[in-house]
Amino acid sequence: MAATLSGARSRHAVGQAGTYLVVVAIVLAVLIPLFWMVSASLKTQNEVYDFAWLPRVPQWHNYVVGLTTFQFGRYFINTILVTGINVIAGGIVASWTAFALARLEFPGRNLIFALVLGTMMLPFAAYMIPSFVLFRWLGWIDTYTVLTVPFFLAVPGFFVFLIRQYYMTIPREFDDSAKIDGCNYFKIYWYLLLPLSRPALTTVGIYIFLANWEDLIRPVLFINSKEMRTVSVGLALLSESTEQAPEHHLMMAVSVIFIIVPIIIFLMFQRYFRQMGEGGLDTVSIK
Amino acid sequence: MTPIKRQEIISAYVFAAPWLIGFLVFLAGPMLGAFVLALYEWNGISTMKWRGLGNFARAFGDFDFWQSLRVTSSFVFSALPARVVVALALALLVNRIRTNQNLFSTIIFIPVVIPGVALAILFARVLNPEVGLMNRFLELFGIIGPGWLFSPQWALPGLGLMFLWQSGGAMILYIIGLEAIPGELLEAAAIDGAGAWRRFLRITLPLLTPIILFNLIVGVIGNFQYFAPVFVMTQGGPNKATLFFVYNVYRTAFQYFEFGYASALTVVLFFLIALMTFGMLRSSRAWVFYRGAA
């Protein structure tokens, strides 16, 4: 009996070590390409086409040159502005709609909730061509308006849903006692639900940030002038012309800055990503 | 109607108004517009010409349309299930480890937050046949790597590898799912003599099926919107080997200026996604296990 137990234990230890090795290999498979990219961003124009793991002398000024030569400084400002507006305004619109759906009785509520869920299945590509025609007619092409207003007003239903689910977990007795104290619905929203739903709002904010930070198709379709480009468009167009413009090292430097921002956000707000996952699963089981 | 009730209804519409307006103007309107445009021939500038269902008939005989369907569905049927398997395997592995679980799952998640364009630029380099990491790695095993994005056969698998590199998002979901499985259930099965494999097949896997369903639905919709990597890395090539659905629509509308025909393609996209989502939800009754429902 003792022999089999210790046998099982040592087999278990071997299993642990094996699992550990595999996981470490996978972690390396994630980190090595990233490391290689950072290293490429520090190489000279000639070195960048070699495989070498490290640059001979790290060219830190690549970062400064990258941001200035191709107007990437401006592109970053555009991306930050658009993303910032959409995070704030999108969060507000989503939380208002969620409040109506979670807390108020009104004719058409079920229909609106169905629309919120239905839009989650509707990809932008399905209506991108008439959108372009509409925005051209409105004179919105090449403006910040086109990258913000349509996004935050028609904020993706998933975010409305996520906040609504969170509101549902806040006991209604809170509202009732506030009502007895003479609060109207706007006060209940502002002083009660909004402060209590901070985790859900943060989650939604992070995801609106990520979606807008990387968005390519909207700016590709709706932006023509160089000055209005976002970083995604700037990088995409630069990389397409790599044959003519051998500034691969600068492109890598810009890419590293572009990547590092969402990674920092992710590391800071890690626990909210879990919440998002759980929210996603909720949407399936509601069917 | 009591004044209190009326106040509630008015408040509700005030709160819901911004989204409703946004929905009508920027979503429902353009979506309807797509159905209308699909019936016309239009280059975006001159007057529209009525074509009826002609655009759909044209799609039927259009090689590029079928090619874009082939490319997208082959990705849906290979890369997507592969990601489900990889993500599940990652979750099981990370879940088995005693120390540094969080550190490892955090690192594996990082690729998910990398912007699409930057990821594409990175992988164009990784998959470069001469100086890329991938072929250098294969060389260690004496394998001469393929031309990846330069080869009609290997371009799509190359994009598949990039897709798998981002399995961390799905992995987190499976980790959540694994943690929710009651330990007593697995212990009871073990006492009854069920081996590890049997416990996985009979308990763990069924309890994870809601997550698999979620992954598949989100994945199918995502694959039908696959754009940034194609735009940056391959432009649909080589030899149309990576002509994904949305890239083909984009090309048709904004490079060839066939707004009507491209809209017809997006109408097809609309119905394809509706049909597949519906199909998956419908089939889920047979294979998705909801706790408490049985």
Interface ipTM: 0.90
pLDDT surpasses 90 at A45: no
CA torsion B70-B76-B78-B79 (nearest 10°) is 120
* Domain presence at residue A37: yes
- Specify the pLDDT at position B291: 66
Helices within chain A (DSSP H only):
2-41, 61-69, 72-103, 109-119, 128-138, 144-153, 157-168, 172-180, 185-187, 194-196, 198-214, 217-222, 231-240, 248-268, 270-285
Question: B168-211: per-residue pLDDT in tens?
Answer: 989 998 998 888 888 888 888 888 888 888 888 888 898 888 88
Question: A136-184: per-residue pLDDT in tens?
Answer: 999 999 999 999 999 999 999 999 999 998 898 888 888 888 878 877 8
In terms of domains, do A14 and A118 share one?
A: no
B212 touches chain A (CB under 8 A): no
Average pLDDT for B249-265? 94
In terms of domains, do A17 and A141 share one?
A: no
Cβ <8 Å between B106 and A267? yes
CA A166-B90-A165 angle, to 5 degrees, is 5
Residue A34 contacts residue A252 (beta carbons within 8 Å): no
Residue A82 contacts residue A230 (beta carbons within 8 Å): yes
Residues 102-121 of B with CB under 8 A from A: 104, 106-111, 113-118, 120-121
Q: What is the CATH number of the domain that holds A237?
A: 1.10.3720.10
User: Is the backbone of residue B143 left (phi > 0), alpha (psi -120 to 50) or beta?
Assistant: beta
Total structural domains in chain A?
2
Measured between beta carbons, the chain B residues lying within 8 angstroms of A186 are: 11
Structure tokens at B227: 């754009």
Nearest CB to B18 within list A40, A96, A214: A96
Dist CA A66 CA A64 (whole Å)? 5
Query: Which of B40, B65, B57, B51 is closest to B252 using CA atoms?
Result: B65
Q: Can you tell me whether residue B289 is helix, strand or coil? A: coil
Residue B231 contacts residue A216 (beta carbons within 8 Å): yes
In terms of domains, do A10 and A86 share one?
A: no
pLDDT surpasses 90 at A83: yes
Stronger pLDDT, B248 or A15, i.e. the higher one: B248
Measured between beta carbons, the chain A residues lying within 8 angstroms of B139 are: none
In terms of domains, do A26 and A74 share one?
A: no
> Rounded to the nearest 5°, which phi and psi values hold at B142?
75, 20
B150 touches chain A (CB under 8 A): no
Dist CA A89 CA A95 (whole Å)? 10
Cβ <8 Å between B110 and A27? no
Mean pLDDT for chain A?
86
In terms of domains, do A24 and A87 share one?
A: no
In terms of domains, do A93 and A161 share one?
A: yes
Structure tokens at B102: 């969080």
In terms of domains, do A30 and A82 share one?
A: no
Nearest CB to B16 within list A19, A112, A285: A112
Nearest CB to A154 within list B22, B44, B232: B22
Query: Which of A234, A269, A270 is closest to A253 using CA atoms?
Result: A234
Q: Can you tell me whether residue B106 is helix, strand or coil? A: helix
Going by pLDDT thresholds of 50, 70 and 90, the confidence category of residue B294 is very low
Dist CA B81 CA B88 (whole Å)? 11
Dist CA A126 CA A131 (whole Å)? 10
* Domain presence at residue A179: yes
- Specify the pLDDT at position A89: 96
Stronger pLDDT, B101 or A129, i.e. the higher one: A129
* Domain presence at residue A56: no
Going by pLDDT thresholds of 50, 70 and 90, the confidence category of residue A101 is very high
- Specify the pLDDT at position A1: 44
Question: B278-287: per-residue pLDDT in tens?
Answer: 999 888 888 8
* Domain presence at residue A52: no
DSSP state, residue B49:
E
- Specify the pLDDT at position B87: 94
In terms of domains, do A240 and A142 share one?
A: yes
CA-to-CA separations, B84 to A29, A60, B88, in angstroms, rounded: 18, 40, 6
Question: A216-257: per-residue pLDDT in tens?
Answer: 999 999 999 989 999 999 999 887 764 445 578 888 899 999
Structure tokens at A135: 């925005």
In terms of domains, do A93 and A158 share one?
A: yes
Residue B186 contacts residue A84 (beta carbons within 8 Å): no
In terms of domains, do A24 and A165 share one?
A: no
Dist CA B131 CA B128 (whole Å)? 6
> Rounded to the nearest 5°, which phi and psi values hold at B255?
-115, -35
The C-alpha of B144 sits at a distance from chain A's nearest C-alpha, in angstroms, of: 16
CA-to-CA separations, A204 to A210, B106, B174, in angstroms, rounded: 10, 20, 21
* Domain presence at residue A203: yes
Pairing, β B49-50 against β B40-41: antiparallel
Give B4: exposed, middle or buried? Use CB within 10 Å, 0-12, 13-18, 19+.
exposed
DSSP state, residue B50:
E
pLDDT surpasses 70 at A9: no
Residue B68 contacts residue B245 (beta carbons within 8 Å): yes
The C-alpha of B73 sits at a distance from chain A's nearest C-alpha, in angstroms, of: 16
In terms of domains, do A163 and A246 share one?
A: yes
Domain that holds residue A254: 70-283
pLDDT surpasses 70 at A280: no
In terms of domains, do A237 and A118 share one?
A: yes
Cβ <8 Å between A129 and B8? no
Amino acid, res. A21? L
Cβ <8 Å between B23 and A154? yes
Gyration radius of chain A's alpha carbons:
25
Structure tokens at B205: 């896997």
Q: Which residue of A has its CA nearest to B255?
A: A221
Nearest CB to B211 within list A134, A160, A281: A281
Return the number of other C-beta atoms located less than 10 Å from residue B28's C-beta: 17
Residue B134 contacts residue B145 (beta carbons within 8 Å): yes
Amino acid, res. B83? R
Structure tokens at B251: 């090309």
Structure tokens at A72: 């990437």
pTM score: 0.90
Dist CA B231 CA A191 (whole Å)? 46
* Domain presence at residue A63: no
Dist CA A76 CA A61 (whole Å)? 18
Mean pLDDT for chain B?
90
Return the number of other C-beta atoms located less than 10 Å from residue B214's C-beta: 23
* Domain presence at residue A92: yes
* Domain presence at residue A270: yes
CA A170-A176-A179 angle, to 5 degrees, is 125
- Specify the pLDDT at position B142: 87
Dist CA A148 CA A83 (whole Å)? 8
Chain position carrying tokens 């609060």: A183
